[in-house]
Structure 1
Amino acid sequence: MSALEPHPAIAPPAGCMVQVARGVYWLRMPVAFAPGHVNLWAIEDQFEDGNDNGPCWTLVDAGFPDDATRANWTAALTGDLAGRPVRRILITHCHPDHFGLGEWLAKQTGARIWMSLGEYMTAQAWFGTVPASDRGLMADFFMLHGLAAGHTDAMRSESGRYRQVVGELPLAMRRILPGETLRIGGDDWTAIAGYGHSPEHLSFHRANDPVLIAGDMLLPRISPNTPTLAYEPEVDAVGQFLDSIELFRALPDYTVVLPAHGDPYVGIAARVDALQAHHAERLALIVGLCAEPQTAAALLPSLFKRELDSFQTRFAMGEVIAHLNHLWQTGRLRRLPKQDGVLRYTQP
């Protein structure tokens, strides 16, 4: 298959849901930042623990913690989802648009959060006051990569932002192991771990009537941010992401892909090809720009054509450093010794 095929389902209004596959339903919640929405999913389930019986729901992701999403969840829980209790809430990863409303939704439904340990512990670190979550560490890291001090002042004042946005986190959860099989509604769903975008992102694949709840790993139109973070300064997040999405080629190409942003589609191989090509093009461009030694900050104007605010600069710097790390660790660029306290990269 050479191109994506759109799924015939039309995005539901906020607070409602529409069926996209056997036993799987689509909810879309608006958010106030790009891309303007996040997709959430409900799967028909059945209690199997001996204490309860009858039909129930398994939900996937909780959405962004704002009043609009709370109102839309309330409408869904008293509307399209009414009549079945929620058994559990699976979380793909800990970013606020996916996990931010998790504890609130768990309290509303009485359901347990299920997620990977890597995502749970990262959320706890970002929510708390551990040294690795301090924005001063990030600001110093970006200055090491050439960002002027004036651009990092706002970042230093943003410590505690995750706590401010999310508000509350679950103290307990049920851990999902990478590769674990979950029984949902009489079907086996496999948790597939992906790396590079977040610490231990989980996608969920059903082999019977193939469906992949992909989270942010296989978005249909954009490539997710693959940042290098200050507490893991030399990680090859780009390589991790590219290796992770390559594993999805083993799934049938007629699998219905349910992404966290954008519309459902069919055509896994075509999307993996496009994401691999996008990063190959980006990497080649950076190699060309490094004919003379360059810092990550110096590359920003050539790679991002719009003016970046403090929030956008944080994402852009993490992305560029990740690409530089990949090129350096694969031998396509050299990382020079620090000069004036700054790291630079150049062609071999």
Structure 2
Amino acid sequence: MDNTVAATAPQTAMPEVAAARRGPESKLRYPIDPPPSDGTLVEIAPGLLWARVPMPMSLDHINCYLLRDTYEGRDGWAVVDTGLGIPRTQEVWEKIFGETLAGQPMTRLICTHCHYDHAGAARWMQERFDVPLLMTFGEFMMLRGLMGPPPDPLPELHRLFYERAGVTDEQLDEMVGAMRKDPFMPQAPFNYRRLRKGQVLTIGEREWRVIVGEGHSPEHACLYNARDGLLIAGDQLLPRITSNVMVSPIEPEGNPLEVWLKSTLRLAELPEDTLVLPSHQGVFFGVRERAHEVVAHHAQQFDQLRAHLATVPGASACELMRVLFPRLRSPVDHLMALGETIAHLNQLLAAGDLQRMRCAGKIDIYALARQEGKTT
């Protein structure tokens, strides 16, 4: 897990868990050097600018994009994603619109999804720049639902979810306690304008089709311009890491990996010369190669689980988490790694590869499924 937080916020991590790195043979190309995280802008194409907003954690930036726009009588710039809802983020946006762009206005704010590095400053930007917020329904509602720390005491069904995964009371208290100390919880935006799958947004001289992905978040919106071969990918496709895909107590029997893999393979259908504008790391060519790398990474994780379960009579989700993620560094890392492990297990259960049993009425034990008279 590569997204633990720097010393300024030692108990917090972002939802973009770095589980899969590119192999050394990867041929992704990075045609543009990134800007520093200080309000400097880099031109990607006419009317399309790249800004980096700093974050006080190991994943130390988010890429935000500015699109030349005329909207509701304003000539200025539409913004994609916000950064965290902290004073440093506000300082960067004040510099961009007050100095770098010499007072040109923001026209509208588009958030790819609900996670707080992408939408944490949305309410402040709505108020400060008097702009509408555009999101999909699922992301806006999840953003509002994620406001605030976990309740205390934790709901019994949530506690049972972790108990059945093999989490001890002490471990759960550490994980939930870390989330309650999270310093980056944003304020809820006031309202929004809905983005829908397949919708076409006219922004300046370009048309952008909304491509909706699932798995990392409910209805993640990517923006694709076919004429110029540009994909604002958010967290749906990152060049060196892959986003966390997890099961939580909110939907314990969910299968987010199934829809995540389908969403990723849809991006692999885009033209090979598409320039991918991700939310983290560099702008790159290689959309098809990277999409297939991500799918292959998860296939490898499925194989790791099957191989381990072939050597033992059964194991809990916590035990299997250590197979996939042997080097965890914080309680929040444990929380996210456990959720991603259960996502893999739920997919294998749905495929009929595993069976799940309740041990002593308390902990779920996973084993290879019986096949053709063989037992595990």
Give the count of matched residue pairs: 342
Indicate yes or no: 2:244 matched with 1:225.
Answer: yes
Match of 1:144 among 153, 158, 164: 164
Q: 1:340: Cα distance to partner?
A: 3.2
CA distance in 2, matches of 1:232, 1:76: 40
Contact 1:255 1:266 in 2 (8 A): yes
Indicate yes or no: 2:126 matched with 1:106.
Answer: yes
- CA distance 1:206–1:290, shift in 2 (3 Å): same
Counterparts of residues 49-88 of structure 1 (less than 5 Å):
49=72, 52=73, 55-88=75-108
Q: 1:136: Cα distance to partner?
A: 6.2
CA distance in 2, matches of 1:318, 1:210: 35
CA distance in 2, matches of 1:134, 1:172: 29
Q: 1:139: Cα distance to partner?
A: 3.9
Q: 1:12: Cα distance to partner?
A: 3.5
- CA distance 1:271–1:120, shift in 2 (3 Å): same
Identity, in percent, stands at 32
Q: 1:161: Cα distance to partner?
A: 6.2
Range moving further from structure 2, 272-281 or 27-36:
27-36
CA distance in 2, matches of 1:306, 1:143: 22
Aligned residue identity for 2:208:
W
Indicate yes or no: 2:370 matched with 1:346.
Answer: no
Match of 1:318 among 339, 346, 350: 339
Secondary structure at 1:170's aligned position in 2?
Answer: coil
Indicate yes or no: 2:45 matched with 1:21.
Answer: yes
Partner of 2:315: 294
CA distance in 1, matches of 2:178, 2:156: 9
Secondary structure at 2:100's aligned position in 1?
Answer: coil
Range moving further from structure 2, 288-297 or 269-278:
288-297
Q: Which runs of 5+ in 2 are unaligned?
A: 1-24, 370-376
Q: 1:86: Cα distance to partner?
A: 1.1
Structure-1-length-normalised TM-score = 0.92
Partner of 1:256: 275
Partner of 1:9: 33
Secondary structure at 2:212's aligned position in 1?
Answer: strand
Q: 1:159: Cα distance to partner?
A: 6.8
CA distance in 2, matches of 1:138, 1:27: 39
Task: Note the alpha carbon deviations across 1:169-213, whole angstroms, 9 max, x for none.
Answer: 112111111111111002110111111101111111111111100
CA distance in 1, matches of 2:181, 2:190: 19
Match of 2:348 among 313, 327, 343: 327
Indicate yes or no: 2:147 matched with 1:123.
Answer: no
Aligned residue identity for 2:268:
R
Partner of 1:247: 266
Task: Note the alpha carbon deviations across 1:104-129, whole angstroms, 9 max, x for none.
Answer: 11211111111011011111112169
Partner of 1:169: 188
Secondary structure at 1:64's aligned position in 2?
Answer: coil
Secondary structure at 2:39's aligned position in 1?
Answer: coil
- CA distance 1:76–1:302, shift in 2 (3 Å): same
CA distance in 1, matches of 2:330, 2:26: 37
Task: Note the alpha carbon deviations across 1:9-56, whole angstroms, 9 max, x for none.
Answer: 333442111111232111111111232111111001123x4xx25x21
Indicate yes or no: 2:84 matched with 1:41.
Answer: no
Q: 1:2: Cα distance to partner?
A: 7.0
- CA distance 1:21–1:323, shift in 2 (3 Å): same
CA distance in 2, matches of 1:266, 1:252: 10
CA distance in 2, matches of 1:188, 1:62: 22
Contact 2:49 2:67 in 1 (8 A): yes
CA distance in 2, matches of 1:91, 1:135: 30
Q: 1:319: Cα distance to partner?
A: 0.4
Q: Which runs of 5+ in 1 are unaligned?
A: none
Contact 2:97 2:104 in 1 (8 A): no
Contact 2:245 2:256 in 1 (8 A): yes
Over aligned residue pairs, what C-alpha RMSD do you find? 2.2
Structure-2-length-normalised TM-score = 0.85
Q: 1:103: Cα distance to partner?
A: 0.7
Partner of 1:189: 208
Task: Note the alpha carbon deviations across 1:138-192, whole angstroms, 9 max, x for none.
Answer: 4431211111111001344467667x62341112111111111111002110111
- CA distance 1:130–1:281, shift in 2 (3 Å): closer
Contact 1:85 1:109 in 2 (8 A): yes
Secondary structure at 1:222's aligned position in 2?
Answer: coil
